[in-house]
Amino acid sequence: MSDTPPIRQATALTVALNGLDASLVRVEVDCARGLPCFNIVGLPEACVRESRTRVRAALRHLDIELNEHAVTVNLAPADLKKSGSAFDVAIACAVLGALGVIPKDSLDGIVMLGELSISGEVRRVRGVLPALIGAGMQTCKSALVPHANAAEARSIGGLRVHVANHILEVAAHFRGQTLPEAKDVPQTTSIAPADIGDFSEVRGQFAARRALEIAAAGHHNVLMMGPPGTGKTMLARRLPSILPPMTEAEALEVTSIHSLAGLLPVSHGLVEQRPFRAPHHTASAAALFGGGSTVRPGEITLAHNGCLFLDELLEFQRHVIDGMRQPLEEGSVTISRARYSATFPSRSLLVAAVNPCPCGYHGTKGVRACRCSPEKVSRYRSRLSGPILDRIDLHVGLAPVSMEDLSGGTVGESSSAIRQRVVAARARQRERFSENRTSKAYNGELSGTDLERTAPLCAASKRLIERAMSTMGLSARAYVRLRRVSRTLADLRGDEHVSIDDVAEAIAGRALDRDSDTLRLAS
């Protein structure tokens, strides 16, 4: 009777991402003598199934041929969808462990990510940062990632991360040689700060400048309406220049999102600037909200903790505009498909710009005559539904800039001066929220209960809001947003008490609720 053949099995760890949520995956490999085959089970998508070809070719550089083995790879849990090429290194290492090329116990507790080329090179993959954050939360002791992902991997605290360029280095590491750590790899490139301009370059449009300052201070959504050439886009693109720097937690969130989307430059770590995204009005719902066969974040998520600028808002498809309702209200977007569901954060500051009519000149004087009939103007503006308008805190009209302003009028404040007030206002919010145990980040997120504690109104202010509610036909949501803006205006003044002037300015900022057909174009 022949001896029982040895059991050739090994297990390695990797991570599967569903949106930004990371799940630990056990790569279980069985190598048996028999008819040559390489099977991968455990709900792998096409890219994962193709890893068998990449792994076979890469292992030849270790003088390992799998022609005499029946290799079975199980990706557990088996009911979790696996997508992407980041499983290659873990599969290869589990095969090496099963064949006895490296000690099986050397793979314990180590998360591996990376794609293999047929030459054995360990290539960069998407989503390393959120994967490592998830792995660290599941008590993994260390990780191994591609050298090209070292910059983002160095941002992880509490997890020892090694980097490799080739499968030969990986095998040597598990035999006892030490790979360099991500924190020791120099950052070879740097990203120059984006040229976002300065508010001092904007001539006139003081009402719009004021609205954007309020929006930045309290994280309030803004809609600008005006004819072409009045500076709507110029103003919106300068909004990031008055926003405060991101905290470390915010930078980790933004970097994780950009890593998952594959937008991080090689050798660049944490994203330090707040994102500014300006999708074209032909963008589809999937491009704006995310989706695809392999779920990826959309523009509204890529703008998280930054600005989402929707120029020519009324030129977007109607269902795309209406799809903004949930993200604007809840600060997140959920993508549901037959085979998966993923939730992404979308706490972005919305800045929208629209023309008053299809030709762009309705309501202007001394510029050009509007060619649109009243019915055409009404039909055009009806694309902006009431529920969407209700979720926009500030409406501001822009009139054409006068020749006097263009040729050397009064120069407005610089972005640095405005930013100081914004930073101070946000500091007051954080201090107040801490004292009141409010789990919110901005005034623009306060609930009705929070507002009663942090922004009580005097009797005169209450009467003014009641009168506005009656004459303007405001909804309960608009009432809450009025009080949020009032709280921000008080913070910009450095006052803990909301005054009647703050309430009056907040009401004036909802011009489209007052009369959507004759929005006053403010200079």
Q: Is the model's pLDDT at 519 over the cut of 60?
A: no
pLDDT single digits (tens) 113-132 = 999 999 999 999 999 999 99
266 and 325 assigned to the same domain? yes
Residues 6+ apart with CB under 8 A from 272: 191, 245, 246, 251
Look at residues 135, 161, 184 and tell me which one is the last residue of a structural domain: 184
Look at residues 419, 437, 455 and tell me which one is the last residue of a structural domain: 437
Residues 6+ apart with CB under 8 A from 212: 222, 235, 236, 238, 239, 242, 351
Look at residues 437, 472, 494 and tell me which one is the last residue of a structural domain: 437
Please report whether residue 489 resides in a domain.
Answer: no
Mean pLDDT (the chain, rounded): 89
Q: Is the model's pLDDT at 202 over the cut of 90?
A: no
Instruction: Give the whole-angstrom CA distance, residue 288 versus residue 280.
Output: 10
313 and 382 assigned to the same domain? yes
pLDDT in the model for residue 514: 57
pLDDT in the model for residue 523: 36
Please report whether residue 442 resides in a domain.
Answer: no
Percent of the chain scored above 70 by pLDDT?
93
Q: Is the model's pLDDT at 520 over the cut of 70?
A: no
What's the number of domains the chain is made of?
2
Instruction: Give the whole-angstrom CA distance, residue 423 versus residue 249.
Output: 17
Choice among 30-34, 97-101, 508-512 with the minimum mean pLDDT: 508-512
pLDDT in the model for residue 411: 72
Q: Are 443 and 218 in contact (CB under 8 A)?
A: yes
Tell whether pTM > 0.85: yes
244 and 176 assigned to the same domain? no
Please indicate whether residue 365 or residue 153 has the higher confidence score (pLDDT). 153
Find the domain containing 97 and state its range.
9-184
pLDDT in the model for residue 409: 62
- 199, 211, 361, 488 from 493: Cα distances, Å: 20, 15, 36, 9
